[in-house]
Amino acid sequence: LDVVYNHTAEGNEQGPTLSMRGIDNASYYRLMPDDKRYYINDSGTGNTLDLSHPCVLQLVTDSLRYWAGEMHVDGFRFDLATILGRYHEGFDERHSFLVACRQDPLLSQVKLIAEPWDCGPGGYQVGNFAPGWAEWNDRFRDTVRAFWKGDEGQLADFAARMTASGELFNRRGRRPYASVNFITAHDGFTLRDLVSYNDKHNEQNDENNQDGSNNNISWNHGVEGVTDDPEINALRLRQMRNFFATLLLAQGTPMIVAGDEFSRTQHGNNNAYCQDSEIGWVNWELDDEGSALLKFVKRLTKLRLAYPILRRSRFLVGDYNEAIGVKDVTWLAPDSNEMSVEQWEDPQGRCLGMLMDGRAQVSGILRPGADATLLLIVNAHHDSVAFTLPDVPQGEYWSCLIDTDRPQLRKAQRLAFGSVFEVTGRSLLLLELQRDEDA
């Protein structure tokens, strides 16, 4: 359940007196310290609730317990959650509200997801919530968008996002699920519009197209909006498959916006909250394009369920475990050698392989694991790249599970070690190592 406990409908000091302002204005709201006639506006809506006050804290936690206990809601996403953890001097992960959620026998058992930013000072807190919380990871969104758009210098950041952004979340005992990965959200472009528009088109919101974000990291692939050009439409579809494959094959918790899985459009409107019209509605009558994309997404979700290595409980860190002779993840250049520092830093680098060794343990047990070994290859170049398939111990050959250039791929192709695979420009591959016992 998406919940908004950071402000009320009473607006700023000139807004209506509906409830809390009339009951106890100074207790419920954060007020300007030098002139308490005015509200602190960290929410961007005119007022900000003060959860450091015991009465406000009780109001919010009682509400949450009602939803969880009486209505059986199994999780909450907290809008502008930094506000909920802010004292007057700033954000504190030990804020009474965050501690109450962690200690409450009911709330500590449900999913707690933070939108870890707000408009206030020190408002950007991605990675700074306590263990037990998951957080929206906008770094995943922005990096993955820029990578598949073909922007320079994205390769190292892309690798970090594929491993649940360990530099942000791999501390204090947190797990990969703490990173909520997403490409799109309820605010902003839909996935189809992300690959169809360079600019927002919010004219029907009656604000002269001034509302909504201008920083969309989108690309229309040659034509703004709808086109009958078959090459552009084919590339847009492949890019949508690339985005979905990246999202569902990355470590962490994937989040999908309803309708993206069958190519829903808002016709370039990236701020459709105010629209009670076809712009914001979800049309469940699928066309051929939507049906095909939905079928592909179903395959990806089944793969994620079938292969535990895609949803590990420990971070992939790239360290060599001498006790069992295994490196959990190895980053490969197209020649199948490990990526060099120069290749990581090359601004023109847009292709790499992510080798996830199924023998790597997710615990401290000193014996090899038994997961599948997978090789993920991404190529954001506009041209194809010749990728040499690596020779991996305890295997005989590779078979292809996913190819975003061939979404209808069904029969597993036998791919020999050392063979060269022409990876189509702007495409993604997922290969599985076939071991001796599988032959």
The catalytic site residues sit at: 79, 115
Cα dihedral 317, 332, 311, 113 sign: positive
In 3D space, the residue among 339, 370, 375 whose CA is nearest the CA of residue 356 turns out to be: 375
Report residue 157 as tokens.
């950041």
Q: Which phi and psi angles does 135 have, rounded to 5°?
A: -135, 140
Cα dihedral 332, 333, 337, 343 sign: negative
Tell me how far apart the alpha carbons of residues 152 and 157 are, in angstroms, rounded to a whole number: 11
382: which residues sit within 8 A by CB, 6+ positions away? 150, 425, 426
Tell me how far apart the alpha carbons of residues 266 and 409 are, in angstroms, rounded to a whole number: 30
Q: In which residue are the tokens 């991404």 written?
A: 378
Q: Which phi and psi angles does 3 have, rounded to 5°?
A: -125, 145
Burial class of residue 70 (count of CB atoms within 10 Å of its CB; 0-12, 13-18, 19+): exposed
Secondary element (H or E) of residue 398: strand 397-403
